[in-house]
Amino acid sequence: MKNFFIAFFIVFFVASCNTDRTSSNLELENLYNKYGVEGCFLLKSLNNEQTYTYNQNRCEQGFLPASTFKIVNSLIALETGVAGNENMLMKWDSVQRQFSAWNKDHTLQSAFKVSCVPCFQNLAVKIGVENMKLWTNKLNFGKMDVHPDNLTDFWLKGNSEISPFQQLNFLEKLENAELPVKPSTVHRVRNIMKIAVDSSGLIMRGKTGWAIVGQRSIGWFVGSIERPDGERFIFVNNIEAKLGAIPDKDFMMIRKSIVYEVLKSMQVL
């Protein structure tokens, strides 16, 4: 942990502490400008409750959750029995879609990894409107606007919203097993969320998201880091750019690139 704080002061992401001892401001404007996006960033140590924030005003604003909602969708499906486990088979409907990875059978786990929208749309239908309303409220995941006519896309367009701070709070409860679901459900979802495990035993979990609102692209990368030394962190990155200003593939990568740069510079990774 000592190296973490040394890095905090020596890298160009300079922090200035405010009156709250558990909250510090990160200066990441140059990093976001380098990638040609607006955005905000949150990092919290679950060991000492320290939170690091870039662009607090944006962190308090609500945005469509996009595919970060797949975390919640998975939790609800597993908790309610719609999905028996992460290996539940999700049959392809034979409709050809733009992403080849979607055009095949999936398990819940593999569908999550390739962010298979039609798979999770089918899951939402099986969950149903009333259960979806009930559980999104129970899980306190922002403000989801769920109706019979938008059950398959309320997280992708419309009036649903969650702020970066709300994402952070939700992730903290997930990581601390404080959500109102069975421990087995938490275990399965955290397993589904694994992105990487390195040779030291460090584990990264997370989910990306991408929504188009008017002429703006909104991107997310949210998740957690579990280190072999026992340190645990959660992070939220939210970015925005004018639609078409950045090639789609680049925009998708930028969501992750910013996270990796910040975490490496602060020696979280």
Active site residue ranges = 67
Give the number of other Cβ atoms within 10 Å of residue 126's Cβ: 11
Question: Reduced to 3 states, what is the DSSP secondary structure of residue 243?
Answer: coil
- Note the residue count of the chain: 269
φ/ψ of residue 143, rounded to 5: -125, 95
Rg of the chain taking only CA atoms, in angstroms: 18
Beta bridge pairs of residue 162 = 63
Closest among 193, 192, 215, 196 to 204, alpha carbons compared: 196
Long-range contacts of 142-150 (CB under 8 A, 24+ apart): 142/62, 142/65, 142/166, 142/167, 142/170, 143/62, 144/65, 144/69
Given strand 194-197, what is the order of strands in its sheet? 15-17, 23-26, 51-54, 38-45, 232-242, 216-226, 203-213, 194-197
Gap between the Cα atoms of 222 and 239, Å rounded? 11
Q: Which residues in 68-97 are b (16+ Cβ under 10 Å) and which e?
A: bbbbbbbbbbbbbebbeebebebeeeeeee
